[in-house]
Chain A
Amino acid sequence: MERSEHGNRLDTNSDYLFQLLCFLKLHTYTRVQVSIDICGVDYPSRKRRFEVIYNLLSTRYNSRIRVQISADEVTRISPVVSLFPSAGRWEREVWDMFGVSSINHPDLRRISTDYGFEGHPLRKDLPLSGYVEVRYDDPEKRVVSEPIEMTQEFRYFDFASPWEQRSDG
């Protein structure tokens, strides 16, 4: 399924992702040799809640294309690292931030979250300040993680309404 506008987008099935990207990379008329970005989006209302988005660039034809694939928590995406070597870090990022893992990925570790972190930060159900984020030095002389304590409750600003918002409704 394509969409042509001032930015091209191609929605696809997860079975043929690797084949599709391989075709896009190698075919003479779609020489897409550069992968700019791989990111994910969380739509919690959908059944397959995540969408993994591959932003690609063709330097030969000076055009960009975006390939989107929908996935849920247990779907495993085929890694495109063999096609686009820069995708290694992006796939690790998608795994870390969303929990969408890859089959036979050469190196799937966490990147950009802390070492003992549980959970996947960019999912919509993890709150903005997290659960166990307060860390401070102890008499034990190390950094510990405790359940979060906030001095001020989370303020919600409703910018849609022009009237002054009161904190307790």
Chain B
Amino acid sequence: MFLRAISRPLMAKVKQTTGIVGLDVVPNAKEVLISLYSKTLNEIQAVPPDEGYRKAVESFTKHRLKVCQEEEDWEAIEKRLGCGQVEELIEEARDELKLIEKMIEWDPWGVPDDYECEVIENDAPVPKHVPLHRPGPLPEEFYLTVGKLQLNSKGGTGESKAE
């Protein structure tokens, strides 16, 4: 009984390696992720609320934060989010924090409503011998975020960050 009480926290599988060179295993990944996502949600308040960037970041950060808080160990988080390993998620969260800080410093908001990003669609057929590099399937939170952005955009370009 004593042994069982000790071994219960060890029942969550210890991750041996991430399999990626240079990326170490983070044993308390869940806490790190939750703290990073809360910090991200704090920092993004400095961006004007109408911006597509803010909506996108809030959308996926809230989704990931919710998943992290609900699930217990890293394996369940990884499986549910479908976004790769938790160490990669930590990297992404850190980079996003850096990016928010830089965006606030550069201040690209306030694109006029009639600015239109010219998108040229080229439907020319690819010859058969050329291999097409199709990117893999995207995680479902990506589609959630895109859906939210298109819902809230007022008719101009929803993502006004490409200037």
A residues contacting B by CB (< 8 A) are 1-6, 10, 12-13, 16, 19-20, 22-23, 25-29, 31, 60-64
Contact = CB atoms under 8 A, between A and B. Distances in A.
Contacts, number: 75
Contact of B162 (A6, A10, A26, A31): A10
A13 to B, nearest CB: 8
Nearest to B138: A61
The 6 closest A-B pairs by CB, nearest first: A5-B122, A26-B99, A26-B95, A3-B120, A63-B135, A1-B118
Given A4-B120, A27-B96, 6 more contacts: A1-B119, A16-B108, A19-B163, A28-B57, A28-B93, A61-B138
Interface size on B, as a range, is: 35 or more
B95 A3 contact: no
Contacts of B98: 26
B135 A5 contact: no
A130 B120 CA distance: 39
Interface of B: 56-57, 60, 84, 88, 92-93, 95-96, 98-99, 102-103, 106, 108, 117-124, 126, 130, 132-133, 135-136, 138, 142, 145, 161-163
